[in-house]
Chains A and B, each alone.
Chain A
Amino acid sequence: MNEKRIIGNRIVIPIGPQHPSLKEPGCFTITLEGEKVVHAVIGVGYNHRGLEKACESRSFIQTLYLIERVCGICSHTHSTAFCQGIEELSGITVPRRAAYIRVIIAELERLHSHLLWLGVAAHEIGFDTLFMYSWRDREKVLDILAEACGNRVNYGINTVGGVRRDLDDNVIQGISKMADSLENQLKYYLDLVMIDTTLSARLSGIGKLSREDAMKFGAVGPVARAAGISYDIRTIEPYGAYGEIPVKVITDDHADVFGRTVVRIREMLESLEILRFCIKNIPDGGIAVKAPRRIPAGEVISRTEAPRGENIHYIRSNGTDILDRVRVRAPTEANWHGMKHMLEGQYLADVPITIAAIDPCYSCADRAIVINSGNKTEVMDWQRLRQYSIEWYKKRGVDMASVKMPESKAYF
């Protein structure tokens, strides 16, 4: 508190650790001259949980469950990168059907992650109708994920050597149906972004990161692609079934928040095409092969394209079932460095949307709950939970039952 906050005509304000753009903590110390940001210091690390240390005292199968919990939104990409690394060290080839299932879950994850981002970004600029729309549409994807994996987030579908669950015809049909309805919505959002003058006026020129700066600061994912850098691990190093699937890399040359919005919406449309290709061409066969109990000694660098960008896992094995070192480089970690550059020169009012535009990571809570009442314990399933929420609101004068959600109800 003794720190000097006013220096000449400059004022230093700490935005965070609790701040307006996200639900996750991060401290952005901003130096202002009038309304303009002249200097920014990024203070992160509040959520460091010591997962990598924890991995060094557990078997690689236990580690897989920890790795899945690195991120609540893109858990599948982390478990895929980790499994791929272990499979490479052990010399295991995953069955083709399992590789396709991994791609299907990865693209569903990309869809729900981008829809979540679209909602958050809309909320940051005061466009709450779009926020409600995109989060409503995200439910369609989460419903499919819940049916395919048994959970909305932290799907737990990956295992070393393949996947733990097969996709049945209901899920495949559900994906096809969801893809059709979501495509219409996404096209509508794309039109909205391209035509609506308020939206483009609010987002254009905000959070600029040129192609040169994106390269210099090591930006990845939609942040880099919106600056015209065609860098996507799915095409640079096609992993799993991506080698057989046509993937179009989406780029844009706006190099600002507007460009990042366009890239993410177009990427969702591309994800739908990938999903359609997968459900049409998914081969029959087994879904997993047996993994050895011990991992041969060696080191491996495994990477995947997470919704937010390149995700890299470094894994070193010492020949036992406990790994010597696991280092996870999540995409947000790469995008922090460009953030400081993006903020400097901006107006204070643009700080929240600029921070949100790199899509920093925060967790989504599971909806399944266990109720303890006295000696009685019961588990609430999805249907009962949904019914409970409708009744909860009805008692308070809001009748949610009159809201039509045909797509969501269709799967349960």
Chain B
Amino acid sequence: MQDEQTSTVQAEQAIVEKICEKFGFLTGKVFVQRKKRILTQPLDKEEFEQLLHYAHDELGFYRASHVVGTDDGEDLGFIYLLVNEEGVILALKERAPKSNPQINSMTGVFPSLELHERELVDLFGADVRGLPEGPSFPLPDGWPKGNYPMRKDWKPEYFDRKTMTYNPPREDADKEAKSDE
């Protein structure tokens, strides 16, 4: 069973070996999850960009499906999904702290990522440097600044759709109520 599993992921394993051979510092950070799926652990900005360029230029990952934004507590996560002609998905992960969520746009390599990176800006508050000019996506005009609805601490129940304002309860409201008692 183990042998069978190993033989079915040979192509994926070969890609991982090529990556580790080229970038020794990625050994252990890139792995085959299952057939047609190669994942990385969250990488630094420089590591991420080097690998993404290499995957596009040398490994035949010509297509970028989309980017998944994630809220990982103190950090924001960005998962770039690249696909090669055989349909193997390479999921490259990048991470940036919420205090400085700055990443570089990859639209220079993959023009198809434009809308997905705009989504990171609108929904997660990422600071994507180098995005081409264009209309924002997907939030409407007049959306209040500093409100990033896909962050875990943003609660839809506090958003007033009529006035387009976000009104969370004050943190000290509970304490005041208790002291009154």
- Return 14 A-B CB contacts under 8 Å, by A number: A41-B134, A43-B135, A46-B140, A50-B156, A53-B150, A215-B63, A217-B112, A218-B64, A218-B110, A233-B87, A301-B89, A312-B65, A324-B70, A334-B66
- When distances are taken between beta carbons in the complex, the residues of chain B under 8 Å from A399 are none
In this complex, the interface size class of chain B, counting residues with CB under 8 Å from chain A, is 35 or more
Q: Which residue of A lies closest to B154 (CB)?
A: A53
| Bound CA–CA A301/B87 (angstroms) | 13
In the complex, what residues of A have CB within 8 A of residue B135's CB?
27, 41, 43
Q: Mark A301-343, 1 if CB is under 8 A from B, else 0.
A: 1000000001010101000000011010100011011000000
Give B126 Cβ to nearest chain A Cβ, in Å. 15
User: Is A131 part of the binding interface, using a Cβ–Cβ cutoff of 8 Å?
Assistant: no
B residues within 8 A CB of A329? Answer: 65-66, 81
Indicate if the CB atoms of B138 and A45 lie closer than 8 Å.
Answer: yes
Distance in Å: Cβ of A237 to nearest Cβ of chain B: 5
Which residues of chain B are within 8 angstroms of A44 by Cβ–Cβ distance?
Answer: 115, 137-138
Q: Which residues of A contact B70 (CB under 8 A)?
A: 316, 324-325
Number of A interface residues at 8 Å Cβ cutoff, please give it.
34
Q: Are B63 and A218 in contact (CB under 8 A)?
A: yes
Instruction: Give complex CA distance A316, B173 in Å.
Output: 34
Question: B15 within 8 Å of A by Cβ?
Answer: no
Residues of A within 8 A of B (CB): 27, 41, 43-46, 48, 50, 52-54, 56, 215-218, 231, 233, 236-237, 299, 301, 310, 312, 314, 316, 324-325, 327, 329, 333-334, 336-337
Q: DSSP class of A's interface residues: helix, strand, loop or mixed?
A: mixed
Across the interface, name the chain B residue whose C-beta is closest to A236.
B87
> Does B168 sit within 8 A of A, measured CB to CB?
no
CB distance from A176 to the nearest CB of B (A): 32
CB distance from A49 to the nearest CB of B (A): 10
Residues of B within 8 A of A (CB): 35-37, 39, 62-66, 68-71, 79, 81, 86-87, 89, 91, 110-112, 114-116, 134-140, 149-150, 152, 156
Query: Is the beta-carbon distance between A337 and B81 smaller than 8 angstroms?
Result: no
Contact partners of A46 in chain B: CB under 8 A? 140
A337 and B65 CA atoms in complex are apart in Å by 11
CB contacts (< 8 Å) of A45 on chain B: these are 136-140
The distance from the CB of B97 to the nearest CB of chain A, in whole angstroms, is 19
B29 to chain A, nearest CB (A): 16
Rounded to whole angstroms, the CA-CA distance of A358 and B116 in the bound complex is 19
Task: Report the 4 A-B pairs with minimum CB-CB distance, sorted nearest first.
Answer: A45-B138, A236-B87, A218-B112, A48-B138
Complex CA gap A145/B27 in Å reads: 50
Chain A residue numbers with a CB within 8 Å of B149 are: 50, 53
Contacts of A314 on B, CB cut-off 8 Å?
Answer: 68, 79, 81
Chain B residues with CB under 8 A of A53: 149-150, 156
